[in-house]
Amino acid sequence: MILQLKLLFKNAFRRKFRAFLTILSVTVALLAFGLLQTFIDAWYAGAEASSARRLVCRNSISLTFPLPLAYRDKIRQIEGVEAITYGSWFGGIYIEEKNFFANFAIEPHGYLRLYDYKLPADQKERFLRDRRSAVAGRRLVERFGWRIGDIITLRGTIFPGNWEFVLAGIYSRGTVDLDESQFFFHWDYLNQALKKIMPHRADMVDFYIIGVSKADLTTEVAQAIDQTFKNSLAETLTETERSFQLSFVTMSEAIIKAIQLISLVVILIIMAVAANTMAMSVRERTGEWVVLKTLGFGPRKIIVLILAESLIITLAGCIIATALTFPMVSTFGRTLRNYLPIFRLKREIFYFYLAASFLVGVVAAIIPACRAAKIPIAEALRRIA
């Protein structure tokens, strides 16, 4: 058995430079697929983190059109509604435009109840008590070096002026898919200021988030909410949180599909390269297969030997790709963390690596192996001669 393994490795790496290039091509193909798939997963992470028991209610025309605050009490009275909160997209800029991060004005009590943010009790109490306070995600705080008690000034774009907030808390994710790069402050603080500077925008919110008592009631509750405000000045569109998140993702769905197609095309190209390499190797060693046949090796054993050599090459590429994926994904995650805050590696990618390597190894070698096994000894000797 040991001698057979030595023979296999010796034959597989007989042409070292060719073997190296084939392994490199397999490694690059798998790495490209893994990184592209991780990017796609990060793009959909917001939708994946959505709860089946949360609904989002917004203006039926567009998210840019607000809803009256008076809707809150009517929604709360609908059967199946367990909790409700609301908020508005603030869109403030910290120092300069390149420092983009999501910032919202929220109703804090309901929001912290509906979302599984980890916030120390003393920080939570400070945040709830001070209307001028704010909380920020751990990643956001690390990015700008903020500390509890810092004064953070955001320049308003939708709501003009410079807005100052006191950092009262730093939250961390309660679940893997929660975003740690967001900034929240009191909607009341914004609303009180709007009553002075923009009265027409006061007592208006961009969205309501509704917690439903049972997941199977979401459709009924959503329909009841929309029916309640039908034919009003501000009709509503209520949908599951997942559908709401996916509505943003689908805007770039064509690009995502193109990325997925490219990743599969790369795998097919590498399969063709590996197949050509194995075919060349088999043709060059016709004499060896003849010798093995004369020594009593049957067609099945020859096929197994050729397949094993091919699998050694492709699985070597799989091992190297697996080892390189971790640092590559980590580097990409740090580079794109401001745009894709949830950037993590899924175990399924490595299953794909193994399956793809095995498939490429078998498909690349099966035809040359069958030809080598079937060729008559006399004909093979004539070719050599």
Q: In this predicted model, what pLDDT tens digit does every residue of 70-109 receive, in sequence order?
A: 999 999 999 999 999 999 999 999 999 888 898 999 999 9
Residues β-bridged to residue 164: 153
pLDDT at 380 (0 to 100)? 52
pLDDT at 2 (0 to 100)? 54
| pLDDT average, residue stretch 343-363 | 83
Domain range for 90 is: 61-234
pLDDT at 248 (0 to 100)? 64
Neighbours of 48 (CB within 10 A): 13
Answer yes or no: is pLDDT of 381 > 60: no
Percent of the chain scoring above 70 in pLDDT:
78
- Burial of 249 by CB count in 10 Å (0-12 exposed, 13-18 middle, 19+ buried)? middle
pLDDT at 300 (0 to 100)? 76
d(CA 97, CA 348) in angstroms, rounded, equals: 37
Give Cα 317 to chain centroid, integer Å: 24
pLDDT tens for residues 168-192?
999 987 655 677 889 999 999 999 9
| pLDDT average, residue stretch 362-376 | 72
Kindly state the helix (H) or strand (E) to which residue 86 belongs, with its residue range. Answer: strand 81-89
**Running DSSP on this structure, what letter comes out for residue 250?**
G
| pLDDT average, residue stretch 196-216 | 91
Count how many domains the chain has: 2
Q: 208, 234, 260 — which closes off a domain?
A: 234
Answer yes or no: is pLDDT of 302 > 80: no
Domain-embedded: residue 260: yes
d(CA 93, CA 161) in angstroms, rounded, equals: 11
pLDDT tens for residues 138-157?
989 999 999 999 999 999 98
Q: Which residue has 């063709």 as its token pair?
A: 272
Q: 199, 234, 269 — which closes off a domain?
A: 234
Lowest pLDDT segment from 238-247, 261-270, 336-345, 355-364: 336-345
Query: What is the overall mean pLDDT for the chain?
Result: 82
d(CA 239, CA 56) in angstroms, rounded, equals: 6
Residues β-bridged to residue 224: none
Q: Dihedral of the CA atoms 221, 227, 233, 238 (nearest 10)?
A: 30
d(CA 164, CA 228) in angstroms, rounded, equals: 38
Both 78 and 223 in one domain: the answer is yes
Domain-embedded: residue 55: no
Q: Comparing 28 with 152, which gets the higher pLDDT?
A: 152
Both 220 and 157 in one domain: the answer is yes
pLDDT at 32 (0 to 100)? 83
Answer yes or no: is pLDDT of 312 > 90: no
Both 369 and 322 in one domain: the answer is yes
Q: Comparing 230 with 40, which gets the higher pLDDT?
A: 230
Answer yes or no: is pLDDT of 38 > 90: no
Answer yes or no: is pLDDT of 221 > 90: yes
Residue 368 binned pLDDT confidence (cut-offs 50, 70, 90) = confident
pLDDT at 204 (0 to 100)? 95
Answer yes or no: is pLDDT of 285 > 80: no
Both 277 and 153 in one domain: the answer is no
Q: Is 57 helix (H, G, I), strand (E, B) or coil?
A: strand
d(CA 195, CA 324) in angstroms, rounded, equals: 56
Residue 242 binned pLDDT confidence (cut-offs 50, 70, 90) = confident
Q: Comparing 222 with 267, which gets the higher pLDDT?
A: 222
Give Cα 351 to chain centroid, integer Å: 17
Both 88 and 228 in one domain: the answer is yes
pLDDT tens for residues 317-327?
889 999 998 88
Domain-embedded: residue 239: no
Both 264 and 344 in one domain: the answer is yes
Domain-embedded: residue 8: yes
pLDDT at 107 (0 to 100)? 95
Distances (CA, A) of 114 to 3, 69, 175, 231: 64, 19, 13, 30
